[in-house]
Chains A and B, each alone.
Chain A
């Protein structure tokens, strides 16, 4: 691997938010294509961060700093990407369900998806099923991602799927669910298309859903 890209990768993994912009600018000045910096630097780094999180080596505080560092890198690269990258790989709508204001998981998933080249529309927190169905109808995303932290709010996920069915939208969008109170069996029971245990798995799911 190119040494400069290796340094960018390590910087993101280690949460070097003070150094990252300088490193990325230097990489671009040296003639590295920005889309390669994204693929081999940013996305590769966040894949490692996701693996470390899944293995219990790091936790949300460290992951938030890595994600913040990646976002700083992405902001430097975005203006340069226009001529290099193709269209976004797909569109994902993200929200926490009604009654749940806990949005760290959702925010981490969004940052990871953006880093992985997807277009993400963040609908925020506390979203009614009917409102979510209306957003799916209007924006036609490939994937709808629902998050719930609390065991008191998980029943809302099923209501969202019911609302999509009621409006004839269920077959138009893949629904993925996640959050501390959810597991794969629950996801299957409510008729979701997939469950992500953490942000890295959510990215893997979306990659699978939108692969042509």
Chain B
């Protein structure tokens, strides 16, 4: 295998041949203020303008040394297209949805033209730019929100979880099924636009909901999504998900992107033979507050544990020092 960043990442994603070193990958954002300053593309432009979006993703590859480019920094591209009022933030704050248009669990009617909505079009255009500029060289990662996350956005998280607790299963199932086509269509469009793999971010988060919620409500939906999306998918679910890793492995995804709260060895032991694992350098204590040596140490621990692709656990804080992000790239370059 030619040891290019693209090949190292894709081979690791499929659990294939190991090259000379493990790849560094970021299924979620590694945008920080230093990186924005260094490449001249920052927030909020990088959420709204395809050139700025692509430039910031390229900086993760060219300046931070990652083997991937991932151009979606917010979780609100789809919710904006579904009618939520989104505040796109600035260089010190991430975007957030300010309204919940389906708090009453009214029917979600997905517009036929949803892929032409500006907040989705910008991602597709950025992926096409990246394909033209680094296709085949770096691995290009797209990202879609799953129906569970989209339900948080359109109905409100607490409202959605309360309805779940109150046993309103029919409402929950109906909303998830109405939102699922958004995930499938956007993922397939991203693959056609140039993505090598797509992240499925769906926040059935550890501590927030139980493994039984995932099994009863979301697993069948994830199986349908992975069956209908024509390319590799990486599941991202935050929190300590040790109690549901086996369920994730049954969802049809090719990899799971996990947090530091799950010990790397335990994760590898449980499901590392079934799907690939990506992660799990701690954001708050290590990447934000630690030294490059701390980051290096944690990345090497993950490599030794058998994690297939090394990266931060989740979207990093915007004030993360660039030197700490680079320490992940340095750790993988020492090989296995």
**Would you call B165 and A151 a contact (CB within 8 A)?**
no
**Would you call B315 and A152 a contact (CB within 8 A)?**
yes
- Please tell me which one of the listed residues A56, A64, A101, A181 contacts residue B162 in the complex, with CB atoms under 8 A apart: A64
**Would you call B284 and A104 a contact (CB within 8 A)?**
no
Given A61-B161, A102-B157, A181-B284, A152-B208 contact (CB < 8 Å) = no
Q: Which 9 pairs from chain A and chain B are nearest by CB?
A: A61-B165, A151-B283, A65-B165, A99-B93, A61-B164, A59-B210, A61-B161, A64-B162, A104-B158
**Chain A: minimal CB distance from B328 (Å):** 15
Given A104-B161, A186-B289, A154-B284 contact (CB < 8 Å) = yes
**Would you call A151 and B209 a contact (CB within 8 A)?**
no
A 11-39 binary contact with B (CB < 8 Å = 1; else 0):
00001010000000000000000000000
Question: Cβ of A182 < 8 Å from any Cβ of B?
Answer: yes
Question: Cβ of B113 < 8 Å from any Cβ of A?
Answer: no
| Chain A contacts for B158, CB-based, 8 A | 64, 103-104, 107
Question: Cβ of A183 < 8 Å from any Cβ of B?
Answer: yes
Question: Cβ of B213 < 8 Å from any Cβ of A?
Answer: yes
B 200-214 binary contact with A (CB < 8 Å = 1; else 0):
000001011110010
**Would you call B285 and A185 a contact (CB within 8 A)?**
yes
Docked complex Cα distance between A104 and B157 (Å): 8
**Would you call B243 and A64 a contact (CB within 8 A)?**
no
Selected A-B contacts with CB under 8 Å, 26 pairs = A15-B165, A17-B166, A59-B208, A59-B209, A59-B210, A59-B213, A60-B161, A60-B207, A61-B162, A61-B213, A62-B165, A63-B165, A64-B158, A68-B162, A99-B89, A99-B92, A102-B157, A104-B161, A104-B208, A150-B315, A151-B288, A151-B315, A154-B317, A155-B318, A180-B205, A183-B285
Nearest B residue to A157, CB-CB: B284
- Please tell me which one of the listed residues B93, B161, B210, B315 contacts residue A58 in the complex, with CB atoms under 8 A apart: B210
- Number of residues on chain B facing chain A (CB within 8 A): 34
**Would you call A180 and B207 a contact (CB within 8 A)?**
yes
Main secondary structure of the interface of B (DSSP, over half): loop
**Chain A: minimal CB distance from B243 (Å):** 7
A 60-101 binary contact with B (CB < 8 Å = 1; else 0):
111111001000000000000000000000000000001101
Q: List the interface of chain B (C-beta within 8 A of A).
A: 89, 92-94, 96-97, 157-158, 161-162, 164-166, 205, 207-210, 213, 238-239, 243, 283-285, 288-289, 313-319
Main secondary structure of the interface of A (DSSP, over half): loop
**Chain B: minimal CB distance from A184 (Å):** 10
Question: Cβ of A208 < 8 Å from any Cβ of B?
Answer: no
Docked complex Cα distance between A22 and B209 (Å): 30
**Would you call B317 and A186 a contact (CB within 8 A)?**
no
Given A182-B284, A186-B285, A152-B162 contact (CB < 8 Å) = no
| Chain A contacts for B318, CB-based, 8 A | 152, 155
| Chain B contacts for A182, CB-based, 8 A | 284
Nearest B residue to A63, CB-CB: B165
Docked complex Cα distance between A153 and B275 (Å): 31
| Chain A contacts for B319, CB-based, 8 A | 155
| Chain A contacts for B157, CB-based, 8 A | 102, 104
Nearest B residue to A107, CB-CB: B158
| Chain A contacts for B93, CB-based, 8 A | 98-99, 153
**Chain A: minimal CB distance from B154 (Å):** 14
- Please tell me which one of the listed residues B209, B243, B288, B314 contacts residue A155 in the complex, with CB atoms under 8 A apart: B288
| Chain B contacts for A62, CB-based, 8 A | 165
Q: Could you tell me which residues of chain A, from 138 to 194, have a CB within 8 Å of some CB in chain B?
A: 150-155, 180-183, 185-186, 189
| Chain B contacts for A59, CB-based, 8 A | 207-210, 213
Nearest B residue to A181, CB-CB: B284
Docked complex Cα distance between A63 and B165 (Å): 8
| Chain B contacts for A151, CB-based, 8 A | 283-284, 288, 313-317
Given A61-B165, A65-B166, A152-B94 contact (CB < 8 Å) = yes
- Please tell me which one of the listed residues A60, A98, A101, A107 contacts residue B209 in the complex, with CB atoms under 8 A apart: A60
Q: Could you tell me which residues of chain A, from 108 to 146, have a CB within 8 Å of some CB in chain B?
A: none
Docked complex Cα distance between A89 and B93 (Å): 36
Given A60-B209, A103-B158, A155-B317 contact (CB < 8 Å) = yes
**Would you call A152 and B238 a contact (CB within 8 A)?**
no
**Chain A: minimal CB distance from B50 (Å):** 23
| Chain A contacts for B288, CB-based, 8 A | 151, 154-155
Given A59-B210, A59-B213, A65-B162 contact (CB < 8 Å) = yes
Beyond A104-B208, A183-B285, list 19 extra A-B contacts (CB 8 Å).
Answer: A15-B166, A60-B161, A60-B165, A64-B158, A65-B165, A99-B96, A151-B283, A151-B314, A151-B316, A152-B316, A153-B93, A154-B284, A154-B288, A180-B205, A180-B208, A181-B284, A182-B284, A183-B284, A186-B284
